[in-house]
Amino acid sequence: MKYDVIVIGSGPGGYIAAVRASQLGQKVAIIEKYATLGGTCLNVGCIPSKALLDSSHHYYDAVKHFEEHGILVDTPKIDFPKMIERKAKVVEQTTGGIKYLMDKNKIDVYEGLGSFVDATNVKVTKNDGSEETIEGTNIIIATGSKPSTLPFISLDKERIITSTEALKLPEIPKHLLVIGGGVIGLELGSVYKRLGADVSVIEYMDKIVPGMDTDVSKELQKVLKKQGVKFFTSHGVSSVERNGDEITVKATNKKGAEVEFKGDYCLVSVGRRPYTDGLGLDNAGVKVNERGQVEINDHLQTNIPNIYAIGDVVKGAMLAHKAEEEGVVTAEFIAGQKPHIDYNLIPGIVYTWPEVAAVGKTEQELKDAGVDYKAGKFSMRALGRSRASGDIDGFVKVLADKNTDEVLGVHIVGARAADLIMEAAVAMEYRASAEDLARICHGHPTYSEAVKEAAKAAWDGKPLNA
């Protein structure tokens, strides 16, 4: 069978690329080695983790906050298997939605491992061992990523686990040790802390979420510490051992002393690696770099012009929405259009509570680049909406060019930050100034007023409610 476009991988990047290509009149096939579509994000990533984050948030509120709202209930109890079952249903519904999109857009779905025969032919090895080869004028690699580990850690996937296993544990841990203070570790650590586990986060760097603005990192650590999460930054893990149901993690602190941690589960969340296993890139002559990422140009083409690569398998942040945008751009480029993607305006989000979201440059990046900038900051505590809901932790920080007032970065810690950040992304897409944001009438009372106030603080240094 011959296709205009073959997509290998059905995650957010792959299935969106397939849909967009079909919308633009291409004959499309998609290859997925697992029984369900949607890739890591929908099956063992974004969607199931958010389902557990929401469920655990409801429980935490019932235990910690209902009474202050005048809601008196008997001591809430956790039906953990029910919580996991609900998560599974959410995943099932979502992946089923992808199957519907494939059918709606007349995209042929091949279940099996896709591997290059050459630059235009892809072999599909099915689970029963049978093989089928299909031909594509254009081929898009969207095979995503897998959890990374450290060379000395042996993952047994029972008690020394990755994020995949953390989403389907048979019980709530008594003490969850989390190696890595990045997004995944903090989100899953938050889930189990809310449900009653002790949680210790062991991070090699001197701050959590190291790639985010320093003020954001400090605020998030302060808030999560208040919720009971323990942090051990500047700790380099040297060994992880299991003895029965007990896990021992040894690490060296910043003073050079060895420290020992004990728990019943250890989540290894030290990042993810591009996944190209079994893809047969050599057969097509596709190059990868020293980090295992598929090399691409500005049009997401590999060194073989008819082969493209998107998402976690290429350079850049490993984010589902980044992969989606790359999928759209690739499909449109193949169809002869001239799309664009601004990587500076891809938001980063942490779905703890409060949430964390950022777009554009951090203060440190502006300092390192020698940019003359100004900053405006506004506390969520000063908002009427925050006081009404009880979500008073966090702030909005707006960074703007000191000479032109153009918004260069926005950083938020607070309730619904994941949604609020899109106001900043839209503004920055149109190169808005801090004054522009400050002069837009925002509804009252809303969390979004903090964006307006922070923008005014950056523009003229005079927020109205602080």
Reported confidence tier of residue 348, pLDDT bands at 50, 70, 90 = very high
Confirm if 265 and 177 have CB atoms less than 8 A apart: yes
Q: Which of 33, 36, 40, 34 is nearest to 11 (CA)?
A: 40
- Give dist(CA 227, CA 210) in Å, integer: 20
**Mean of pLDDT values over 67-95:** 96
3-state SS track over the chain: CEEEEEEECCCHHHHHHHHHHHHCCCCEEEEECCCCCCHHHHHHCHHHHHHHHHHHHHHHHHHHCCHHHCCCCCCCCCCHHHHHHHHHHHHHHHHHHHHHHHHHCCCEEEECEEEECCCCEEEEECCCCCEEEEEEEEEEECCCEEECCCCCCCCCCCCEECHHHHCCCCCCCCEEEEECCCHHHHHHHHHHHHCCCEEEEECCCCCCCCCCCHHHHHHHHHHHHHCCCEEECCCEEEEEEEECCEEEEEEECCCCCEEEEEECEEEECCCEEECCCCCCHHHHCCCECCCCCECCCCCCECCCCCEEECHHHCCCCCCHHHHHHHHHHHHHHHCCCCCCCCHHHCCEEECCCCEEEEEECCHHHHHHCCCCEEEEEEEHHHCHHHHHHCCCCCEEEEEEECCCCEEEEEEEEECCHHHHHHHHHHHHHCCCEHHHHHHCCCCCCCCCHHHHHHHHHHHHCCCCCC
**Which tokens in the block code for residue 399?**
């960074």
pLDDT of res. 425: 98
Give me 279's structure tokens. 């893809």
d(CA 396, CA 324): 27
* CA atoms of 233 and 213, how far apart (whole Å): 16
The predicted pLDDT at position 181 comes to 98
The band of 65, judged by pLDDT with boundaries at 50, 70 and 90, is very high
pLDDT classification of 362: cutoffs 50, 70, 90: very high
Q: What percent of the chain has pLDDT over 70?
A: 100
pLDDT surpassing 90 at residue 9: yes
pLDDT score, position 127: 86
> CA 209 to CA 218: how far, in whole Å?
9
- Mean pLDDT value across residues 188-199: 98
Which of 131, 121, 163, 164 lies closest to 8, judged by CA? 121
CB-CB neighbours of 31 under 10 Å: 27
CA distance 83 to 27: 41
410 — pLDDT class (breaks 50, 70, 90): very high
Enumerate the β-bridge partners of residue 75. Answer: none
CA–CA dist 173, 171 (Å, integer): 6
Tell me which of 65, 69, 299, 444 is the catalytic residue. 444
The span from the first CA to the last CA of the chain, in angstroms, equals 65
Summarize the confidence of residues 139-144 as an average pLDDT. Answer: 98
Closest CA to 249 of 265, 258, 235, 261: 261
Average pLDDT score over the chain: 97
pLDDT, one tens digit per residue, over 430-453 is: 999 999 999 999 999 999 999 999
Provide the residue type at 112 as one letter.
Answer: G
Q: Is 16 exposed, middle or buried (0-12, 13-18, 19+ CB in 10 A)?
A: buried
Catalytic (active site) residue 340 = no
